[in-house]
Amino acid sequence: MNRRLITIIDYERLLALKELALLTTETSENVRKLYTELMHAHMLKPGYISENAITMNSRILLRELHTGRQIDLTITYPRDSNAMERRVSVFSEIGTALLGKLVGDRVSWKIKGREAHFEILEVLYQPEAVGHFNL
């Protein structure tokens, strides 16, 4: 398990959502996995996290390793997710795989019954990098 980077603010907000998420989400296994990994994450003040780290509300560019196809998406809180806008919940399999990872890391999750592997190419927007600490 690679150690994830997370801001203290993101950690506190996600911790506050834990019980409700475990009770209401269909992806409770993803939620359990995320919280297990967050317990071992390296927590930083928002102004000290690398601009290459995926934090909440970050927009990122990925490349699927098998096809070379590039996609961009945003990691959001569940209430802000919207598939049409490529805004994925942190509690989804995709969100769980990406939060706290760095540019250059490789991640995988299932898409349409098969395992898809991606490389993180770029963090296109990270709130902390531009001083947006309260998103």
- At 24 the pLDDT is 65
How many Å apart are CA 91 and CA 130, to the nearest integer?
25
pLDDT value at 36 more than 90: no
Alpha carbon distance 131, 46 (integer Å): 8
> Which amino acid is residue 69, in one-letter code?
R
4: pLDDT strictly greater than 60: yes
> What percent of the chain is predicted at pLDDT more than 90?
61
What does the domain layout of the chain look like in residue ranges?
A: 5-128
Is the pLDDT at 23 greater than 70? The verdict is no
Q: Which of 85, 119, 115, 100 is nearest to 44 (CA)?
A: 100
Among the residue ranges 21-25, 29-33, 60-64, 76-80, the one predicted with the least confidence is 21-25
Q: What is the pTM of this model?
A: 0.89
C-alpha distances in Å from residue 109, one per residue of 23, 92, 95, 118, 119 = 23, 10, 10, 9, 12
Rounded Cα distance, 47 and 6, in Å: 11
**C-alpha to C-alpha distance for 90 and 64, rounded to whole angstroms:** 19
Q: Return the DSSP state at 93.
A: H
Q: What number does CATH give the domain 5-128?
A: 3.10.50.30
N-term to C-term CA, the chain? 28
Closest alpha carbon to 75 in 1, 3, 13, 2:
13
Per-residue pLDDT tens for 97-118? 999 999 999 999 887 788 899 9
The tens digit of pLDDT for each residue in 55-79 reads 999 999 999 999 999 999 999 998 9
